[in-house]
Structure 1
């Protein structure tokens, strides 16, 4: 049986995240902590923070999103190798802005797979910008491209506003990275995206 890599990522993430909920030492050793990483030390945190989550809701939201969109991106668009490469590199790419922004802030830490999940989600936007694959609250289904623009605007606004302890920059840069990755890995997708963008389907 050919099991999607997506399911393996979900399973591994859950196996690490759930025990870490009640293990402060484990979390501290794996969380994204720029101040501890700025001198080239503990760079593994660029990856390990992606298998940690703040609580069950955080974990469930990310893993459900990955469950619904991951197999499609993996199987029909990128293939297994490119999908794994996307997911792993997106964890790093989506964290770089906050790394430089907070490298001298010993109070800043973050965790979660949101950056990588956003990257996967945004691949579906370049494939079909006018498809209504993404539904808010399971009811309001927006065209992918409209959701993408709103998502980026919201993430940028909330990051500037601050105060909610959510790494909005990871969502923002993860999404942008996913779009760029897909365009490089599959140049035909970018051409198709431009053509579809100029012929909207409402």
Structure 2
């Protein structure tokens, strides 16, 4: 079974369980004081297994399903069978570390959801197929256009610091996805630059 589907299934099962079990939710969510004071480092990964509600879960898993399946062979070929799992887990940890460090003494802060790792998958895909048409809220657009809009919006909202969405995790996840992919295969960079210069809409 593809690793993407395994990650998706585990995330869905755990999220649905946590919807009805507040204790499980509290044990898995990113709560910085529990990491700082009690060394519950598992929270740097398990926060990505729980979601705020069904729509939050659906959006992340829908995105993971389509782009994870496309990227899994790339990482499997380069890193072995569990290459994509390594990439994804790394995305969870790296995307949330700045948030944790900023709030490590804040008992009122919590964060959850796989958005950071999903952003990593999406931006890794954009490196390989920047002009691929994707659907964003029923609007078709090239992946690279979405990347620019997504990055600009996330930076703007992160600076405003309002709302319950962790835009910082989105940005760090995207950056991780790009850097990790280029480290795994540096030839992706000239491929990406050449693709940018030769648009091919499909």
**What is the TM-score when the length of structure 1 is the normalising length?**
0.92
1:57 is aligned to 55
C-alpha distance after superposition, 1:112-137 (max 9, x if no partner): 111111111111110021222x2222
Q: What residue in structure 2 maps to residue 164 of structure 1?
A: 163
Aligned counterpart, 1:32: 30
Q: Superposition RMSD on alpha carbons, in Å?
A: 1.5
The residue number in structure 2 matching 1:195 is 194
Q: Deviations over 1:94-124 (max 9, x none)?
A: 0011011111211110011111111111111
Q: Distance in 2 between matches of 1:65 and 1:26?
A: 25
The Cα shift of 1:158 comes to 1.0
Q: 1:81: how far off?
A: 2.3
Match of 2:104 in 1: 103
Gapped regions of structure 1 (runs ≥ 5): none
Structure-1 separation of matches of 2:132 and 2:2? 23
The alignment partner of 2:65 has SS state of helix
Q: Output one character per residue of 1:9-62: Cα deviation in whole Å (capped at 9) or x when no partner.
A: 111111111010121111111111122223571111001101001111111111
Unaligned runs of 5+ in 2: none
The 10-residue stretch of structure 1 (154-163 or 92-101) with the greater mean CA deviation from structure 2: 154-163
- 1:1-202 equivalences in 2 (<5 Å): 3-39=1-37, 41-75=39-73, 77-79=74-76, 80-132=81-133, 134-138=134-138, 140-201=139-200
What is the aligned residue count? 197
- For 1:200 and 1:53, the matched residues in 2 are separated by 37
Q: CA deviation at 1:197?
A: 2.1
Deviation at 1:185, TM superposition (A): 0.8
Q: TM-score, normalised by structure 2?
A: 0.92
Aligned-partner Cα distance in 1 for 2:84–2:153: 26
Question: Tell me, what secondary structure is at the counterpart of 1:38?
Answer: helix
How many Å apart are 1:201 and its aligned residue? 4.2
